[in-house]
Structure formats: C-alpha cells, structure tokens
Amino acid sequence: MKPIRMTTVAVATLAAATLGLAACNNKADDATEKQADAVEQASDNAADAMHDQADQMTGAASDAMDAKADAVKKAGEAKSDALEKKADNEVKQNPQ
C-alpha cells in the first residue's frame, strides 16, 4: 500500500472546500464570473499572439508590439477585475 502524500491530502481538501463554496453561488454570480474568466483568457491569448509577433520583429517595431501586447493584457485584467467586483455585488444584493 502506498503512503498518502501530503499533496494528495491537500488536493482532496481543496476540492472539498471548492465544492462547498460552489453550492453557495447564485446563477447570476456564476455567469458574471465565467464572463470575467473569458475576458481575461481572451486578452491573455491576444497578448500572447502579439508577443509572438513581436518576437519576429526587431528594434522599435518589436518594442512597440510588446508594449501594445502589455496594454491589451492589462486592459483585459482590468475588465475581468471589474466583472469580478460586479459578481461580488450580485451576491451581496441577492444572498441565498
């Protein structure tokens, strides 16, 4: 029999806690959180593609593309954060 590793116990504990919290969410909150995740993922993907393009460039063009990619990522994070705050407010206004 294999010994139980601490990481296995930690993963099981985290899974149980997550399931418990998931049961407390309402549908509006869940939808807004999914939207926030999608916005952040889309901006990350766009920024990554722009960084890849910048890698193919040199000099000022490369620097400009990297700066633009960083701005896209930052804007996506800001939008995602705003949506997360909206989700938090939905929970406060509509407690279950």
Q: Which helix (H) or strand (E) holds 87?
A: helix 59-93
Q: How many CA atoms lie within 13 A of 61 on its CB side?
A: 7
Secondary structure of residue 48 in the 3-state scheme: helix
* Interatomic CA distance for residues 14 and 4, integer angstroms: 16
pLDDT confidence bin for 19, thresholds 50/70/90: very low
User: Which structure tokens are listed for 40?
Assistant: 């952040």
Instruction: Give tens-digit pLDDT for 76-88.
Output: 999 999 999 998 8
Amino acid 27: pLDDT? 80
Domain-wise residue ranges, the chain: 26-93
* Interatomic CA distance for residues 24 and 11, integer angstroms: 20
Q: pTM for the complete prediction?
A: 0.67
